[in-house]
Amino acid sequence: MTTSIFKSLLICTIFSISGINAFQNTRKNILFIMADDLRPNLGIFHPFMITPNMDNLAKRSLIFKRAYVQQQVCSPSRNSFMTGRRPDRTRTWNFIDDFRVARNNANPGDQGYGPGNGANWTSLPGYFKQQGYQVFASGKTYHPNRPINNDLERSWTSYDDVIPGDVNKSCNNGRPLYGRVPKHNNSWIEIVGCEENDAEVLLTKAAVRHIEWATSPENSSKPFFIAMGHHRPHLPWQVPSRFYEQYGDPQQYPLAKIQNWPKTAPHISWHPW
């Protein structure tokens, strides 16, 4: 989760879904949406950006204009906001440790050699699970496998990135079809077909399936907490070309005024991933 010279913005939208089912109590349904490396490059901040869905959501949401990540890379920041504790409490500053387990730095693949600071903590989704909620997730919530298995047993009822029936096996054997030549120094890999098999599409469909399950007649007596974590716009940008083409000539848009990082900034702040 790299930061930019400009204000970094991780939008985590939490809102209740009303009218889906008839609860007889005051507990709300919650849909928790995350987008990785999402800067404030949205129509609500910059008129030249074409983001109609985000703009419509913003019109009925509370917008924070000074939002900061807890740390500049994915795993520490996610360990932080999923536990409600700063990295100096989770003791997670890298991609090796997590709040549940401390690992041997020389062997980052180890399953762990000792309990982490938060071995017995209750996570954000874990709290809702303890309160009797149905707790589902898809995509990138924690950093992958940090904690192990996305803390499935402690945090979630079910974690499904892909629902098997949502994959179109008849199109490119269930995979997106990419352009032949990566563009922009491999940052952009154009999707030219079988878009329905892209991971972002599939995890979104999984979240929709979770809502359908949670609101079905046999399950609707319990409220739900459903997390949907999008990997994009984190690099690499594997997206259909139409999202670029709608902007026309890129030369018409202003470049960043500041082109270099501050001299006092730590190098990890500019990690490419």
- DSSP 3-state percent helix, strand, coil across the chain (nearest 5): 25, 15, 60
Q: What pLDDT is stored for residue 250 in this prediction?
A: 79
Confidence of residue 7 (pLDDT cuts 50, 70, 90): very low
Least confident window among 44-48, 140-144, 159-163, 252-256? 252-256
The 10s digit of each residue's pLDDT in 206-258 is 999 999 999 999 999 999 999 999 999 888 888 888 888 888 887 888 787 88
The average confidence (pLDDT) of the chain is: 84
Q: Write down the pTM of the prediction.
A: 0.83
- Gap between the Cα atoms of 223 and 239, Å rounded: 34
Mean pLDDT of the 36-53 span: 89
Residue 259 included in any domain: yes
What's the first-to-final CA gap in the chain, in angstroms? 6
The token pair at 104 is: 């041997």
Residue 180 has pLDDT above 50, yes or no: yes
- At residue 260, φ and ψ (nearest 5 deg) are -125, 150
Query: 119: which DSSP letter?
Result: T
- The tokens describing 225, both together, are 């907490």
| Domain enclosing residue 238, as ranges | 12-270
Q: Does some domain include residue 93? A: yes
Answer yes or no: is 38 within a domain: yes
Task: State the pLDDT at residue 181.
Answer: 64
Residue 4 lies inside a defined structural domain of this protein: no
Q: Cα–Cα distance between 170 and 64 in angstroms, integer?
A: 43
Give the model's pLDDT for residue 255.
81
Please give the pLDDT value at position 24: 44
Position 59: which residue type? K
| Structural domains counted in the chain | 1
| Residue bearing the bigger pLDDT, 112 or 260 | 260
* pLDDT, tens digit, 9 for 90 and up, residues 106-137: 455 555 578 889 999 999 999 999 999 999 99
Q: How far apart (Å, rounded) are the C-alpha atoms in residues 32 and 25?
A: 21
Residue 17 has pLDDT above 50, yes or no: no
Which CATH number do you get for residue 113? 3.40.720.10
Whether the per-residue pLDDT at 105 is higher than 60: the answer is no
Backbone angles phi, psi at 197, to 5 degrees: -95, 5
Question: 240 or 272: whose pLDDT is higher?
Answer: 240
pLDDT of residue 189: 82
Is there a domain that residue 237 lies in? yes
Q: Is residue 2 part of a domain?
A: no
pLDDT value of position 110: 55
- With beta carbons less than 8 A apart as the criterion, state whether 239 and 183 touch: no
**pLDDT > 70 fraction of the chain, expressed in percent and rounded:** 84
Residue 1 confidence (pLDDT): 46
Residue-wise pLDDT tens digits, 53-91: 999 999 999 998 887 878 878 899 999 999 999 999 999
Q: How far apart are CA 25 and CA 34, in angstroms?
A: 27
